[in-house]
Amino acid sequence: MYRVDEGSGKKGWVELTVDSSLKVDIERLENSIDTVRSNFISEGKVNISLDYGIAWFASGQVFLDWVAAQKKSLKDFKEQEIVQ
């Protein structure tokens, strides 16, 4: 999370790193981000970025729903990127 105070120009950031061997539930991650934000950067506009190597989906339909929500199609993915 990165923030720049528009009034004073002060900058600040908080980083959360998770080992690649851990499987992280997205809802728990969102809750953790909300908690960190409210405890450390509670005011102003905040930019949040997420870098990840693998995304797991409960089913193929959940994946297809996610693809549609991102306004993408299966053609946007390389064949070796999708493991069933």
The tens digit of pLDDT for each residue in 27-48 reads 898 999 899 888 888 777 788 8
Number of domains present in the structure of the chain: 2
**65 in the same domain as 29:** no
Please indicate, yes or no, whether residues 48 and 33 belong to a single structural domain of this protein. yes
Is the domain of 39 the same as that of 70?
Answer: no
Q: Same domain, yes or no, for 42 and 17?
A: yes
Q: Tell me the residue type at 68.
A: A
pTM of the predicted protein model: 0.62
Going by C-alpha positions, the residue among 17, 16, 22, 33 that lies closest to residue 56 is 22
Contact 1, 47 (CB under 8 A): yes
Domain hosting residue 77, numbered range: 54-84
Task: Give tens-digit pLDDT for 53-82.
Answer: 888 888 989 999 989 998 988 888 888 778
Nearest-angstrom CA–CA distance, 84 and 82: 7
Residues 7 and 44 in one domain: yes
Cα–Cα distance measured from residue 13 to residue 70, given in angstroms and rounded to the nearest whole number: 27
